[in-house]
Amino acid sequence: MPVNSSPRLRDSLEYEEPEATDARFTLGFRSLTIDSAEYDHHEPQDDHRPFAGSPDPSASRRKRRQRRSDLALNHAVPFQYRTVADGDVFRLAVILPGTGGAPIECQLIWESSSKPKRDYVCLSYCWETTVRDAAILCDGYRFPVTKNLYRALQSLRKPTANLLIWIDQVCINQDDLRERSHQVSIMKHIFSNAKEVNIWLGEEDDRSKKLCEYAKKMRRGEDRPSSTWKNSLSRIMGQRQLDDAIQSLLQRPWFQRVWVIPEVALARFTVVACGSSRISWDNLVRLIRDTQLPRTKGFDKQTHLLGNPRQRIAILTQMIASQRKGLLHTDITQLLILAKSSQATDSHDKVYAFYGMTLLTTVPDYTRPEERLFVDIAHHYVNSIMYDDYYSRFHGLSEQRRSQQLMSILYSAGRLHQHPHYTLPSWVPDWTYAWYQAPLWCKTESNIVTGTIRDVWSAGIRCDHRAGGDKLETFEIIDGTHGQHRLHLSAVLFDAVAEVSETTPASTPAAADKSAPSPSSLSVTLDSPTFNYGRDFFRTSNGSLGMATHGIQAGDVLAILLGGDVPAVLRPAGTNDDGVGLYELLCECFVQSAEVMNGELIRTDWTLAKDVVLI
C-alpha cells in the first residue's frame, strides 16, 4: 500500500523554480516542525546557534564545555519527530565535532533521494538489541540510542569538522510504521548515492587490530610477492593466529544481520571499521577468500550450515558485482539462504531488506501479515521462473538452473521447517525459520567468485545427487477458494516410511544389497555426523534405510520430485475433486540407495511419475 505523502509538501523534486523548492530543503529548516512562521523569511544572520568548528586550545575551556554538554544532555527534553519523511526526502544526521568522552551532538537536515546536493556517508552496524540505554543530543533534545551505535559514533565522528551521515536508528522514525515502509522503498537510492558506507564491526581487540594490519600489508605487497614480504606478514601473525583471528571476526554480530546485505551491496565504496582500525571491504574479502578454515570431523555450524559467514560473503560478492553493473539480482536460492540465516529485529525485514535490488515487487508495508508476504513471494518467483522469459534471459539461466531454483523453494520449505504460529502452505518457505541442519540438496562451501555478474556461485553449490533428474514436468500454483494456494507438480511415490528411530534401524536381509551400497557410490552416508545431526533414521516398507528431519512418522510417503536432486517426505492428506492425491510437504530426505539418489530409478521408468498436489 503506498505511503501517503504530507499534504503540505510536494513529493516530486523534479523542478527548477526556486519558489517551488520543498520547504524542508530551505536554509535553516531542520526537523522540528513545518508550521512555525519563523521559517517564512529566514535569514542566515538570524541563526544564533553555536558553531562547533575549530578545536579549543584551552584545556580548561574544553572541560567547561564538556560539563555544560553533560548537563544539557542530562536535563534535555526527550526528542520527538514532528515531521514525516515522505516523498523523495530522507533525513541526514550532522554529527558535530568532538573527541573522547564528550557527548555526541547532532542536527537533522533534509536531503533528496533523487538529486542529493550534499556528500554524505551511510552507517552499517548491528543493533544487537532494541534497548536504547545510551543517549545523544539531537537538535538540542535527548535522543536515546543503543550502546553499539553510541560507540560507533564516538569512533567515526571527526574532531574538527562535521560528519554528514545516514543512520537508520536516528534518521527514520522507527515507531512510525508507514514512514519505515516508505523509507525502505527508497533505501536503494540512499545507499547508492552515498559517497561511501562505513561498516562498524564493534570495538577492536588485539586480534582484530593485527588482522587489519595484516590485510593492509598483504594488499600492498601482493603485486610483487617476495620472501621478505612473506616474512613481514608472518611477523604480524602466524597461520594459526590468522585463522583464529578471521574466525573470531566472522563471528561478530554484524555478519548475521539481514540489513547489512543491501547496505554493502548497494555501496559505491565500503570501509570496514573495527575500533580505530580501518580497511576496505575488498581487502577483507580477499583475506577471507585466501584463508582456508581447517576441516572438522563433526558437525560445525560455521561451515556446515547454509548461510555461514563465508558463504554469505560469497553471495554478497556476486550481488555487489551485479549492482555495479546496474543489474537486479534474481536468484531466489540465494535470497532464501541469506534470509533464513540472518537475524532481524522485525521479521518483515527478512524480505524487505532485498527490496530495490532484486525482482521482488512487493511494496514494503510493515502492517502486512507475514504469512501473506511469504505466500506472495513464493507465488511471484514460481510464476517468474516458469513463465517469464525475461527472468531466465536476465542471468542466462538454463533449464537445469531454472529447475534448481524452483526446487530450492521446496527444499527451503516443508511443514517441519515452519514456525507453528504461521498458517503457511507446506510448500511455501518460512523466511524466518533458521537453518539448523547440513542440507542434503546443496553444498555450503563459500565459493567466492569475484567480479562476475552471472550466477556462477549458484552452479557451484549444487549437490552431487540427481534423484529427480534434470527434466521438470508439471509445476504450477493452483489458487483455490478461501485463499488456498496449492502447488501442482509431478513426482514418483516410490516408498513409504515403516519405522522411525533415533538410531539406525537394521535393514532386512532381502533388501541388504540394495539398501547398503558401497560408500564410494554415495556422497552422503547414514553414519556421517555432519548430515545426521538433527535428523531421525527410518526404514522403508521396501527395506531401505534413510534419514530425515525429526518429526517424520510411519505412513509418510517418500517421493522423488521431478527436477529435484534429493527425495522428499510427504504426508498424505486425502484427494481433491479430480481424484489427485493431496499431500503436505514435510522435508527433504536421504535414502541409502544409489538407484534412488543417483537417478537410476527415474531413468529406468520415468513414466512412474504422477501428478500430486501440495497443500
Model confidence band, residue 40 (pLDDT cutoffs 50, 70, 90): very low
In 10 A of CB 551, how many CB atoms?
17
**Residue 328 in grid coordinates:** 537486479
Query: From CA 280, how far away is CA 480, in angstroms rounded?
Result: 52
Q: For 329, list phi and psi in degrees, rounded to 5.
A: -90, 140
* Nearest residue to 547 (alpha-carbon basis) of 533, 558, 562, 537: 537
Q: What is the pLDDT of residue 451?
A: 56
Q: With 70 as the cut, is the pLDDT of residue 575 above it?
A: yes
- Start-to-end CA distance of the chain, whole Å, equals 28
273-287, 404-418, 487-501: lowest mean pLDDT where?
273-287
Q: What is the pLDDT of residue 449?
A: 65
Query: From CA 499, how far away is CA 348, in angstroms rounded?
Result: 39
Q: What is the pLDDT of residue 56?
A: 53
Mean pLDDT calculated for residue range 40-56: 45
Model confidence band, residue 604 (pLDDT cutoffs 50, 70, 90): confident
Q: What is the pLDDT of residue 24?
A: 62
Q: What is the pLDDT of residue 517?
A: 54
pLDDT in tens, 517-538: 554 456 688 888 999 999 999 9
Q: What is the pLDDT of residue 137?
A: 94
Count Cβ atoms within 10 A of the Cβ of residue 100 and give its class: 0-12 exposed, 13-18 middle, 19 or more buried: exposed
Amino acid at 73: L
Q: What is the pLDDT of residue 23?
A: 63
Highest averaged pLDDT of the listed ranges 201-215, 233-247, 382-396, 570-584: 570-584
* Nearest residue to 416 (alpha-carbon basis) of 571, 611, 590: 571
Q: What is the pLDDT of residue 41?
A: 42
Mean pLDDT calculated for residue range 48-73: 62
Q: What is the 3-state secondary structure (H, E, C) of 420-477?
A: CCCCCCCCCCCCCCCCCCCCCCECCCCCCCCCCCCCHHHHHCECCCCCCCCCCCCEEE
Rounded to 5°, the CA angle 542-547-551 comes to 105
CB 385 within 8 A of CB 377: no
Radius of gyration of the chain (CA): 28
pLDDT in tens, 213-237: 888 887 776 656 666 767 878 888 8
- Longest CA pairwise span in the chain (Å): 96
Mean pLDDT calculated for residue range 455-468: 81
Mean pLDDT calculated for residue range 590-611: 90
pLDDT in tens, 339-351: 999 999 899 999 9
DSSP-derived secondary structure for 65-77: HHHHHHHHHHHPP
Q: What is the pLDDT of residue 350?
A: 94
pLDDT in tens, 10-35: 444 444 444 445 666 665 555 544 44
In 10 A of CB 452, how many CB atoms?
12
Model confidence band, residue 607 (pLDDT cutoffs 50, 70, 90): confident
Cα distances (angstroms) measured from residue 587 to each of 104, 262, 323, 438, 548: 51, 30, 34, 13, 7
Q: What is the pLDDT of residue 36?
A: 39
> Mean pLDDT score of the chain, rounded to an integer?
84
Model confidence band, residue 79 (pLDDT cutoffs 50, 70, 90): very high
Q: What is the pLDDT of residue 521?
A: 55
Q: With 90 as the cut, is the pLDDT of residue 612 above it?
A: yes
Q: In what order do the strands lie in the sheet with 196-200?
A: 141-145, 134-138, 105-112, 89-95, 163-166, 121-124, 196-200, 270-274, 277-280
Query: From CA 171, how far away is CA 182, in angstroms rounded?
Result: 13
In 10 A of CB 595, how many CB atoms?
19
Q: What is the pLDDT of residue 293?
A: 67
Q: What is the pLDDT of residue 121?
A: 97
Cβ-Cβ contacts under 8 Å for 5 (sequence gap 6 or more): 11, 86, 87
Query: From CA 394, how far away is CA 415, in angstroms rounded?
Result: 32
Query: From CA 352, how far away is CA 283, in angstroms rounded?
Result: 29
Q: For 548, list phi and psi in degrees, rounded to 5.
A: -155, 170
Q: With 60 as the cut, is the pLDDT of residue 55 above it?
A: no
Q: With 90 as the cut, is the pLDDT of residue 512 above it?
A: no
pLDDT over 90 for what percent of the chain? 53
pLDDT in tens, 189-221: 999 999 999 999 999 887 888 898 888 887 776
Q: What is the pLDDT of residue 78?
A: 93
Q: With 70 as the cut, is the pLDDT of residue 301 above it?
A: yes
Query: From CA 476, how far away is CA 591, in angstroms rounded?
Result: 27
Model confidence band, residue 503 (pLDDT cutoffs 50, 70, 90): confident
User: Where do the domains of the chain lie?
Assistant: 18-200, 298-463, 475-614
**What's the count of helices (H) and strands (E) in the chain, helices before strands?**
21, 17
Q: With 50 as the cut, is the pLDDT of residue 309 above it?
A: yes
Q: What is the pLDDT of residue 486?
A: 95
Q: With 50 as the cut, is the pLDDT of residue 118 above it?
A: yes
Q: With 50 as the cut, is the pLDDT of residue 2 above it?
A: no
Q: With 60 as the cut, is the pLDDT of residue 253 above it?
A: yes
Q: What is the 3-state secondary structure (H, E, C) of 195-220?
A: CEEEEECCCCCHHHHHHHHHHHHHHH
